Amino acid sequence: MSLNHPRQAALQEIISKLQTQITDLQTLLPLLCFPLSRVALLPPQFRKFNSLSSKDVPVDVARVFPPIQRALLESILPTWETILDEEGCSALSLQYFCPDAFSNAATAGDVALCAYSTILSLPLHERSVDLLLRLTKEYPIDKLFRAVCTIRDPARRSVTWDDCLRNIFAAPTKIANTFKGQGIPDDLGMPEYFNNLSIRTELIIHTLSKLAVPEDLSLVTQLFSKLVHIGAFPSSVHPSPSQPSFFHSVVPSLRRRLQDRENESYRKLWNRTITSLPSVLTQQAVLASLFSSLTSLGSTLGASARDRGIIRREAVLLCDVVGNIGPDDDLWNTLISVILARSWGENHSRVFVCWLASSTHSSQAQEAFLPRLVDAWSALDHIKHSLLSRHQYLSTLLLLVVTHFPQSSNEVASVALSPSLVSAVGGYISHPDASVRRCGMLVAEVVASRVDKNLNFDDWEGDDDGKVWARRLRQLCSQRDIDFEPSHEDDGVQGDDAEPGPSPATEVTLMTAARRPIADTGMPARRVADYDSDDSLTGYASPSSSRSPSPTPSELQEIEKDPTLHVGRKKIPRPVYLAQLGELVRNSGVGSSEENQEADRIEMAINIGEELIRRKHDYGTELAENAANLVYGFVSLSNKFDLDDFDNKIQRIAIALVACCPKTSAQYVPCLFCRVPSLRSCRCMIEEFFKNQYSSTQRSVMLNALALGARELALLPIASQALQQLATQRTTFPSKMLPPVLHQKYLGTSSDNILRPLLEGITKAAIDKSKEVTADKVPEVVRERQLRIRRPPKITEVASASQKTSIPSSQRPPSAISFTNIAAEWFIMPFVNRFWVFLRDEQTREERTAQREALYQYRGAGTGLILNPLMLSAFLNTMAILVHASQNAPQWLALIAPNTLELAVTVGSRQIARPVSEDLDDDGDDSPKDSKSKEASVLTSALNVALIVLDGCLELDGGRSLGLEHTALLIGTGEWAGQVFNMLERGIQVTGVGGIHEVELQRATAGVLLKVDQITSKWRRSMVGHRDTKYNNPKIQFEFTSDNLKKAQEIISRYPPQYMKAAVIPLLDIGQRQNKGWTSISVMNYVAKLLEMPPMRVYEVATFYTMFNREPIGENFVQVCTTTPCMLRGSTEILNTVCSHLGGIKPGATTGDGKFTVIEVECQGACSNAPMMVVNDDFYEDLTPATTKKMLDAFAKGEKPKPGPQSGRHTSENSAGLTALTTKPYGPGEFCTPEFR
């Protein structure tokens, strides 16, 4: 009913009076009491003031109360609040906003709804904030919900609820803006307010569940949608304290209510609420937040009874809140997308599987979930780019689902034989990260065991690369979490804190138990101890035989070792000389009758090789004569006889060869008696590395030997304990050693990733290192001279007679070889040069076959080849270690640093070989293929090389030689690293970046950028950013004219010969004037030649002084002064006039006809005639826009205006005339007394 209705005239009159000025309290109180009395909200103590009477006047709260509330806030309370307090009538005004507790009238909620809207529609002040705070406490969302539910019209109910939610959710923002973030009441702060709102929302659901016929859930789902939009459902397991979280606030009350198993209506209402949410995105947000609020175990793979009880309890919570979800439910796809598309932890994977297994549709749910889980685990993008945490999450989820099926079930069998799983296991095994590889290997073994197949990778001992995680997961899968009772203990103590984990003494027992195939029947699986065969077979069950049992493998080994059974077997003699050692591995002079002893010969050679080589070090020339033969023999060996610790022993022998005889092992040397390389020393380790006959393992042995042998020569530590130099002879006191199997077991030898820990330590030190103070030890200039290559002396020093007769050179003891003296000649530069030759040959070979069909094209980056990313990254890692070890070499700054940096930048930024997948790309990846994309491992290794080179340059000479002599290389390095950094910042995926490579790549990129910035910031003024162009390159000839040459010689003659370089500035000025006003690279080179000084010194001068123009200029060089005095006199207007009059060019540009070049300059020393500008060599002063245009037009016509002030005055005289010295000056003695005249 409208207020204009006759029956509403009294109310309209009261509202009009309240909106006008009221003069006394006796008039105000009746006006306030009457509307409250009509809605049964007038307190009894104020009924005496209700003097107005009207016959049955109906009151529409939504129409009447908002104008009265607005009038109270805007005019009445600011004027009458103090008087109302004194008279005890303040509660009367409060009833219009927050009716007190005694009022149970149905209209109280409607009044509160109107109060929210009125208060928030007006500017907030202290009074309205107090009212709003009281409203939030006495009329929270659940009371407002009850008030809205009383509205019978569905359309009006929906609109009212929408307005209510908008006001409720806008309150904290309005408060925060009013208080500007300072002094906000605690109950109105963002997290506290919305957490309380979440608790009240749960109370609404609990209240609705008690109704016999629950109300329509549209209002509740509307409330949930609002909560999702403001971020009250975070998906983070550990949300920020400043972020509200619905489930973190209501889970305690949820658990308390759900423990009552008879409260079935409460569970069903939660299921209906989540299912009825309006959009899939809203459902995903609510489910993700619910999952993130689950209890996390201290040890996510804890297998104690208490841990399993907690997992079971969380699964029951999900079952109660979300319900028993099956493949036919509408929520199924949303639920699966949340589980698989997000990165949860192993704790959540256990809860998810236990939840699916405990539902009423468990078998159908698991059968539908398993194929989608296998697809996610087998995706190529996941295998290549996912982090280790996601790999372990999906692997745990897959193994738990698989182990919930019965042994040999059809579902698991179909998964085990599926092409996607088989190809995915191959992708995992070829992954560069060992921890990721472990996930694929573990899944393959467990899935095979579930279908009664035998698959054993036998690489699970130790604590590195995810092995501990794999063992704990095996132990977890031995039992199911669903078989345990839910735990209702306090959540404060989580995980394995209740029961301690396994001790080191029981690790082997746990490993053995965890490796057993998982069976649901409870029958133990038999396992032969210490038996590992790639061709093991399990026989059929048969009745016992009367024959004696067959010997076990251990008994066969004892029989084989029995010396009485080897009477006719020839014993391999222990080699004494290196030539004999070489014969053992090179098969020289071996007859057919001795071929069956090849395994014994190789075993003897690898067992005694390192000791014999190190013993012969510095013992005559025997090692030098046999080193090449030993290199060929040992690096080409393969473990075809399955010898114990073969890889580690070969690696130690190769290191010993490099460390004890580097000049032969590292590079071939020509024979002294012929011009061709000698057969005994020409093919050595570097040459052999670039031959295609070796496997990746053999090439890794060579690279590791070069790197670790170099560090041993440089007296630097080796990271791997298994490859440390022998302290004593191996054969001495054999009784002091454990048996070989136990010795290797407790020693923990491993040939994988030998260089990675070493390189990580080097790069980390390069990033974190601060510059040491060494100025008091050796001056920087002296150190720079010592570390640079010295020119050979022109006069050879002759030894004295006493020196000649002391000791013959042939009898002097050989001096110890220092790696810094041989690094450039025998290690790094041959390695770099041989790589360039090899790269040239490989690219030529690829180009020759490029026109053939894809199947017959040669690929230099194929599997096992040197340009393959795996081997190329190992090559770069070796180069990085060699460069770091040779940092004190005399040739480091001049040769090693620039050449290796150029190699790293080239390999890291250019496509050096055609990838195998360029034409045959059948991996299903729809992402765009970048022809210059790099494997993450190659990119990281190249950046590590650059980082070590830059760090060494900074330490040795502060980056001076690299910045000044190799400026283009330094700038190119910075640009390359910047591109990689920007690519990573934009989130572009690099091939193979998953796992550990992501962190290493980001760290290396940031480190290179920091080092380049340190060098460029220090030497920026001296670095020339020159790039050859058609008009500016050294090939353009330049010489002084005869007149200018005479001027130059006259200037040079002013200085002593040793200080001739002092004439560089005037000679550059002459050259610039002759070269049409700019200084080209040819001018600078000519001046450097004329003054007999390095060109770099001339470049430094030319780039430091702004008077020398580095680019061509126009016929008229216009320089507008814009310093403060000229700017105050209008130089900005003059500059704008010049630019606009010359066709709209910008400062620093040249007009299209080449007649004018305009630049801004600093003070020209003519401030008294400001504004001014310089054209060529003439000053033009006292400028105005009109005179400026006139001058420019004259220059354009080829004329030359008169220099000087353009205002008509002479030089800097006052334009208004003389103000002093206007009379004739008096002469000497004119005003003196007569006697002094």
pLDDT tens, residue by residue, 616-662: 877 778 888 888 888 888 888 888 888 888 888 988 888 888 888 77
**pLDDT tens digit sequence for 1052-1070:** 999 998 889 899 999 999 9
SS3 of residue 261 by DSSP: coil
Give buried/exposed letters for 577-590 (b at 16+ CB in 10 A, else e).
ebeebbbbbbeeee
Closest CA to 1166 of 1124, 1118, 1126, 1110: 1126
Hey, which CATH number is domain 578-588+596-734, 3.60.15.10, 3.40.50.850, 1.25.40.720, 3.30.70.360?
1.25.40.720
CATH code for the part of the protein at 1116-1205: 3.40.30.10
Q: For residue 1073, what pLDDT is reported?
A: 93
Q: Angle of helix 332-341 relative to helix 362-378, nearest 10 degrees?
A: 40
Statement: the pTM of the whole predicted model exceeds 0.75: no
How many Å apart are CA 24 and CA 521, to the nearest integer? 93
Residue 1055 near residue 1063 (C-beta atoms within 8 A): yes
Task: Please state whether the peptide bond connecting residue 1171 to the residue before it is cis, i.e. omega within 30 degrees of 0.
Answer: yes
Q: For residue 597, what pLDDT is reported?
A: 79
What are the residue ranges spanned by the domains of the chain? 198-292, 294-497+508-520, 578-588+596-734, 819-916+933-1022, 1042-1104, 1116-1205
How many Å apart are CA 1071 and CA 1082, to the nearest integer? 10
Closest CA to 442 of 411, 465, 413, 419: 465
Structure tokens at 146: 């009850």
How many Å apart are CA 26 and CA 563, to the nearest integer? 126
Q: What is the identity of the amino acid at 359?
A: S
Structure tokens at 425: 């296991």
Q: What is the identity of the amino acid at 1028?
A: D
Q: For residue 623, what pLDDT is reported?
A: 84
Structure tokens at 1136: 């704008």
Residue 287 near residue 342 (C-beta atoms within 8 A): no
Q: For residue 1193, what pLDDT is reported?
A: 93
CATH code for the part of the protein at 1042-1104: 1.10.10
Residues of the chain with pLDDT under 50: 1-2, 102, 490-538, 546, 588-593, 667-683, 727-735, 744-752, 770-794, 796-815, 918-932
